[in-house]
Amino acid sequence: MNQNLTNTRVMGLPSRWIYLTTTFFLVLSGFGQMPIFKRYYVADIPGLGWLAEFFVTHYIHYLGAIVFLALTAFLITDYWMLKRNWRRLTASGYVRIALLTGILISGALLVIRNLTGTNFAPELIIFLDLIHLGLVMMFVFVSLYCLIFKKHWTTER
Amino acid sequence: MGQQISRRSFLKGGMAAAAGVAASSIPGTEALAAPDESKQLATLIDISKCIGCEACVDACSEVNAEKYPNPQKPFPKMVPNRVPVEDWSEKQDVNDRLTPYNWLFIQRTDVEIKGEERELTIPRRCMHCVNPPCVKLCPWGAAKQLENGISRIDSDLCLGGSKCKKVCPWDIPQRQTGTGLYLDLMPSMAGNGVMYKCDRCYDRVAEGELPACIEACPEDVQTIGPRQEILKKARALAKETNGYIYGEKENGGTNTIYVSPVPFEELNQAIEKGKGKPHLKPVEDTMAQANNLAAAMLIAPVAGIAAAVGKYIKRSKTVSKGA
């Protein structure tokens, strides 16, 4: 088993595709929370009209978050139980995990904010909105960098 | 008498709200505060009492005049040019609909009550939803909900994207181009002014005063108080007059409760609706669908962990057999 795991990446092919697809829709629906897609004709493209429907983008963002949370929990547990002795996180892996942690925490607080009866301080809401957007933009840039320069999340120990 | 009672209960509620506002200034405390709908103040509007004198409309304009937009002209060129310029600065006197300069108007209609034709007049403004989508879905936090249930748009922060209007079931907020923060950012590329709507005189309420429309009404059409008390009064009034209630459940509940002598389906058909003239249709809870997914977000990580553990057990068994 050990020998088989030495060269096994943390993310298998199915996980990779679920991760990429979910991240794509999360970022798209997340940016759809701002009224920009209709203004800049993106929602006029056939098949993308939903990007101008705020309740639809909101719902899709939540669905994406559910899949993303499940996948993240799966990958962390899988790494911890099966692969941690043979693979270690790279520097870019640490950076991406730090950014994702911030995105998840701010996103979770915004979900709580949206529940009936929850009333956060306006200053906290502004902070959460900006930090969530800022971290996502940083995550997108870092991910593109890693994609272009083939930086992996983990490497052999 | 009714007005005295409403004033007393209002002042009690106002003090509770002021305490809430004071507590909210302590960083972090409000974020952890337990949901407490009892802090929300609601208004009861008895439609049968309204005589359509527009004293409330005039009082609203007078008291809130300093909050109205003062746009700079010429307006920045919009990119792309499909972005609509919305300018009410030359039409500030319009008072038969909602505009950035008119946050309350009287909707008029003729209906038949017990065989007699009668004109009903309905004060219309923001409903101040219990869970307001305009506030919760504003991408910048420019729209705020106060602990006392008032939702208001901060004109210093709003960029005028009009999302609040699109997610509002009644299309209440109204835009004025050429004013606000967007002028200091990228005026041609992003933003388009500021959205305006009734803030239920939040500044007066914070001082323990009544909203201007309530204070000015000669017929005591409106009563303000804690939401649960107002709902009790609304139900009692509806029972007493064989009336109908609107706002108790609409959009998950609002802090504006109408009681009408005719069914709201009938009233909704009779009133003039359109831009700046909101309907009186039943409204489902617009925030509920996504909020119902919140529980699934708690379960999702557990499912992920279970899947990984399952994979580990399966692999362990395979390795044992192989050995």
What confidence score (pLDDT) does residue B17 get? Answer: 40
Best probe of the A interface among B130, B171, B249, B305, by most A CBs < 10 A, is B305
Nearest CA in chain B to A33: B139
Residues 6+ apart with CB under 8 A from B29: B23
Residue ranges of domains in chain B: 2-292, 293-323
Closest Cα of chain B to A41: distance in Å?
9
Contact A55 B297 (CB under 8 A): no
B16 neighbourhood in chain A, CB within 8 Å: none
Percent over 90 (pLDDT), chain A: 75
User: Look-up: residue for tokens 């700046």?
Assistant: B276
Select the residue of A40, A63, A72 nearest B304 (Cβ to Cβ).
Answer: A72
Predicted-complex ipTM score = 0.88
Long-range Cβ pairs for the range A15-24 (8 Å, 24+) = A15/A71, A15/A74, A15/A75, A18/A67, A18/A71, A19/A68, A19/A71, A22/A64, A22/A67, A22/A68, A22/A71, A23/A68, A23/A143
Amino acid at position B110, single letter: D
Query: Cα separation of B129 and B72, whole Å?
Result: 32
Classify B274 as helix, strand or coil. strand
Determine whether the interchain pair B144/A122 forms a contact, defined as Cβ–Cβ distance below 8 Å: yes
Taking CA atoms, A18 is separated from A12, A14, A68, B314, in Å, by 10, 6, 8, 22
Q: Which two tokens stand for residue A54?
A: 């705020």
Predicted confidence at residue B229, as pLDDT, reads 96
How much is the CA Rg of chain B, to the nearest whole Å?
24
CB-CB contact of B135 with B252 (8 Å): no
**A14 falls in which pLDDT band (50, 70, 90)?**
confident
Q: What is the CATH number of domain B2-292?
A: 3.30.70.20
Q: Which residue has the tokens 């997914």?
A: B293
What pLDDT score was predicted for residue A117? 85
Return all residues near B133 (Cβ < 8 A) that are at least 6 apart: B164, B167, B168, B169, B251, B286, B287
Looking at residue B39, its pLDDT comes to 84
Task: Please tell me if residue A137 touches chain B, with a CB cutoff of 8 Å.
Answer: no
Q: How many CB pairs under 8 A join A and B?
A: 142
Looking at the partner chain, which of A111, A121, A130 has a beta carbon nearest the beta carbon of B294?
Answer: A111
Q: Which residues of B touch A26 (CB under 8 A)?
A: none
Measured CA to CA in angstroms, residue A75 lies from A10, B214, B300 at distances of 7, 58, 13
Is A149 a residue whose pLDDT tops 70? yes
Q: What's the whole-number average pLDDT of chain A?
A: 91
Which of A81, A118, A121 minimises the CB distance to B35? Answer: A118
Nearest Cα to Cα of residue B144 among B208, B202, B218: B202
> Is any Cβ of chain B less than 8 angstroms from the Cβ of A90?
no
Residue of chain A minimizing CA distance to B291: A115
Q: Minimal Cα–Cα distance from B62 to chain A, Å?
A: 27
Give the predicted TM-score (pTM) of the model.
0.86
Q: Calculate the alpha carbon distances from B250 to B170, B283, B287 in Å.
A: 11, 5, 12
State residue B163's pLDDT score: 96
Distance from CA of A116 to the nearest CA of B (A): 5
CB of A65 within 8 Å of any CB in chain B?
yes
β strands within A61-150, DSSP E: 87-89
Confidence of residue A4 (pLDDT cuts 50, 70, 90): low
What whole-number distance in Å separates Cα of residue B303 and Cα of residue B312? 14
pLDDT at B132: 96
Measured from the Cβ of residue B288, the count of other Cβ atoms closer than 10 Å reads 12
Q: Is A55 on the interface with B (CB under 8 A)?
A: yes
User: Do the Cβ atoms of B304 and A124 come within 8 Å?
Assistant: no
Give the containing element (helix H, strand E) for A86.
none
The structure tokens listed for B78 are 């919009």
Q: Which chain A residues are Cβ-neighbours of B30 within 8 angstroms? A: 119-121, 124
A63 to chain B, any CB pair closer than 8 A? The answer is: yes
Q: Which residues of chain A does B191 touch, with a Cβ-Cβ cutoff of 8 Å?
A: none
Give the gap in angstroms from C-alpha B163 to the nearest C-alpha of chain A. 6
Return the CA Rg of chain A.
18
Backbone phi and psi for residue B194, each to the nearest 5 degrees, phi listed first = -140, 145
Closest CA to B47 of B98, B126, B103, B109: B109
A131 CB near a chain B CB, below 8 Å? no
**Which residue, among A2, A39, A71, would best test binding to B if mutated, counting the most B CBs under 10 Å from its CB?**
A39
Packed helices A54-78 and B294-322: angle between N→C axes, nearest 10 degrees: 30
Give the start-to-end residue ranges of the domains of chain A: 1-85, 89-157
Closest CA relative to residue B256, chosen from B123, B139, B134, B166: B123
**CB contacts, 8 Å: A113 with chain B:** 136
Average pLDDT over residues A114-139: 94
Closest-CA residue of A relative to B146 is A119
Q: What is the pLDDT of residues A39-93, one digit of tens each?
A: 999 999 999 999 999 999 999 999 999 999 999 999 999 999 888 888 899 999 9
Residue whose C-alpha is closest to residue A114's, from B294, B307, B5: B294
Percent of chain A past pLDDT 70, that is, above it, reads 94
Q: What is residue B111's DSSP assignment? A: E
3-class secondary structure, B237: helix
Mean pLDDT of each 10-residue bin along chain B, 323 residues long: 40 41 36 52 97 97 97 91 92 97 97 89 98 95 94 96 96 97 92 96 95 96 96 97 96 97 95 96 94 92 94 84 64
**Rounded average pLDDT over A116-138:** 93
Pick B31's closest partner by Cβ from A73, A108, A120.
A120
Do B173 and B165 meet the contact criterion of CB atoms below 8 Å apart?
Answer: yes
Residue B87 · residue B176 · CB < 8 Å: yes
